[in-house]
């Protein structure tokens, strides 16, 4: 079967930005904009229920009906993190989207993509293997990257960078348990890169629903890098999922003190205030977030 690309030219038209689903987490709110049953411009909302098939598919609760296929799935920043594709009618709210990374890969592929086998590691130094691993990761060939990292570790078992790179490849494949093990080894072996490895281990814990461990690692990052905003915001979200709403508010407040112009931080704190029944403070934060985002 011959595949074809659809192309068109246009100027001065509005468009959406293709973002990334790698930072998305279960429970995160999403929006779908489509034309279900021919009803144009319909907006539905829901949350991310799960990630499937190595994070290539996103399971969502936002309603998707006939006519919604191909609709963008947006995060709360308005970036497209997926494309609605199918519904399991046997259940309730079992809807699925192709991830932004899968879409980007498909766009980047040639019209007729050659089938290439996973390369076997060639003889070389540990540095050679790790260089090859990083090349494979840039091409999103994560399983091949892991193979090269294994060879690098075999030759140089105390090399923290090799474990860190393998951790990243495992993370991108959705193999979070393996990623945790690799980042743990990297933290022990290479203190100079501990901040980065704590951060990514925290993200792995987060995707494993181990929110207490994620909090611990995000806190370790903050001690080392007091200005890394992602560690503050994700720590607040982890506290939220633990049901520790007061601590979530404190975490977001600390982040807001450092970055008073970040709308997402106010939105996160607003949700925590809602959970504590403090509607007035929640409304203040949502109003501030709206002001920062502008018209």
Query: DSSP states of 195-256 as a string?
Result: HHHHHHHHHHHHHTT-HHHHHHHHHHHHHH-TT-HHHHHHHHHHHHHTT-HHHHHHHHHHHH
Q: The tokens of 126 are what?
A: 């540990």
The verdict on 163 and 223 lying in the same domain is yes
Q: What is the C-alpha end-to-end distance of the chain, expressed in Å?
A: 47
Number of structural domains found in the chain? 2
**Is the separation of the CB atoms in 212 and 231 below 8 Å?**
no
The verdict on 183 and 49 lying in the same domain is no
In a domain? residue 113: no
d(CA 218, CA 221): 5
d(CA 253, CA 21): 26
In a domain? residue 249: yes
In 10 A of CB 27, how many CB atoms?
Answer: 12
**Which region holds residue 194: left if phi is over 0, alpha if psi is between -120 and 50, else beta?**
alpha
The verdict on 163 and 228 lying in the same domain is yes
| Crossing angle between the packed helical segments 229-241 and 194-207, to the nearest 10 degrees | 30
CA 176 to chain centre: 12
**Is the separation of the CB atoms in 285 and 267 below 8 Å?**
yes
The closest alpha carbon to 182, from 219, 238, 133, belongs to 133
| Crossing angle between the packed helical segments 229-241 and 245-258, to the nearest 10 degrees | 170
Which ranges of 139-193 does DSSP label H, i.e. alpha helix? 142-155, 160-172, 176-189
The verdict on 211 and 71 lying in the same domain is no
**Is the separation of the CB atoms in 283 and 277 below 8 Å?**
no
- Residue 285 phi/psi, 5-degree rounding, is -65, -40
**Is the separation of the CB atoms in 146 and 166 below 8 Å?**
yes
In a domain? residue 38: yes
pLDDT confidence of residue 157: 92
In a domain? residue 115: no
The domain boundary, picked from 58, 82, 108, lies at 108
In 10 A of CB 75, how many CB atoms?
Answer: 21
pLDDT confidence of residue 202: 93
pLDDT confidence of residue 2: 40
Range of the domain at 78: 29-108
The verdict on 160 and 84 lying in the same domain is no
pLDDT confidence of residue 54: 58
Kindly list the distances between the CA atom of residue 72 and the CA atoms of 17, 19, 42, 46, 276, in Å, as whole numbers in the listed order: 10, 11, 11, 13, 33
The verdict on 102 and 208 lying in the same domain is no
8-20 burial: b if 16+ Cβ within 10 Å, else e: eeeeeeeeeebbe
- Residue 51 phi/psi, 5-degree rounding, is -115, 135
The verdict on 88 and 172 lying in the same domain is no
241-279 burial: b if 16+ Cβ within 10 Å, else e: beebbebbbbbbebbbeeeeebbbbbbbbbbbbbeeebe
In a domain? residue 261: yes
pLDDT in tens, the chain (295 residues): 344 444 555 556 667 777 777 778 877 888 888 777 667 777 888 888 777 765 677 888 887 776 666 788 888 878 888 888 766 654 556 777 888 777 776 665 544 444 444 455 456 788 899 888 888 888 888 899 999 999 999 999 999 999 999 999 999 888 999 999 999 999 999 988 898 899 999 999 998 999 999 999 999 999 998 877 778 888 998 999 999 999 999 999 998 988 888 888 898 899 999 999 999 999 999 999 888 877 6
In a domain? residue 33: yes
In a domain? residue 67: yes
Check which CATH number belongs to the domain holding 91 and give it: 2.40.10.10
pLDDT in tens, 151-167: 999 999 999 999 999 99
Question: In sequence order, what are the beta bridge partners of 44?
Answer: 32
The verdict on 97 and 138 lying in the same domain is no
The verdict on 89 and 158 lying in the same domain is no
The verdict on 209 and 149 lying in the same domain is yes
pLDDT confidence of residue 5: 46
Model confidence, pTM: 0.60
Kindly list the distances between the CA atom of residue 206 and the CA atoms of 24, 26, 45, in Å, as whole numbers in the listed order: 10, 9, 23
């Amino acid at each position: 079967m011959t595949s074809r690309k659809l192309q068109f030219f246009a100027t001065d038209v509005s468009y959406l930005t293709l973002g990334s689903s790698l930072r998305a987490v279960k429970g995160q709110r999403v929006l779908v904009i489509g034309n279900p049953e021919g009803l144009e411009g319909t907006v539905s909302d829901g949350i991310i229920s799960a990630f499937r098939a190595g994070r290539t598919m996103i399971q969502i609760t936002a309603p998707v009906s006939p006519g919604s296929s191909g609709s963008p799935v947006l995060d709360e920043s308005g970036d497209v993190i997926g494309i609605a594709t199918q519904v399991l009618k046997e259940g309730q709210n079992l809807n699925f989207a192709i991830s932004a990374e899968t879409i980007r890969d498909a766009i980047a592929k040639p019209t007729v993509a050659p089938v290439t086998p996973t390369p076997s590691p060639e003889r070389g130094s540990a540095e050679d293997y790790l260089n090859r691993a990083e090349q494979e990761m840039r091409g999103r060939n994560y399983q091949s990257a892991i193979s090269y990292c294994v060879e690098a570790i075999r030759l140089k078992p105390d090399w923290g960078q090799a474990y860190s790179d393998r951790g990243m490849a495992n993370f991108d494949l959705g193999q979070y348990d393996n990623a945790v093990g690799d980042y743990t080894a990297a933290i022990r072996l290479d203190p100079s890169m501990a901040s980065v490895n704590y951060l990514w281990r925290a993200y792995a814990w987060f995707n494993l629903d181990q929110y207490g461990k994620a909090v611990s690692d995000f806190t370790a990052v903050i001690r080392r890098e007091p200005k890394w905003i992602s560690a503050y915001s994700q720590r607040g979200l982890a506290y939220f999922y633990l049901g520790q709403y007061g601590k979530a508010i404190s975490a977001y407040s600390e982040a807001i003190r450092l970055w008073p112009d970040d709308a997402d931080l106010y939105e996160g704190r607003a949700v925590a205030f809602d959970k504590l029944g403090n509607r007035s403070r929640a409304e203040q934060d949502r109003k501030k977030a709206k002001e920062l985002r502008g018209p």
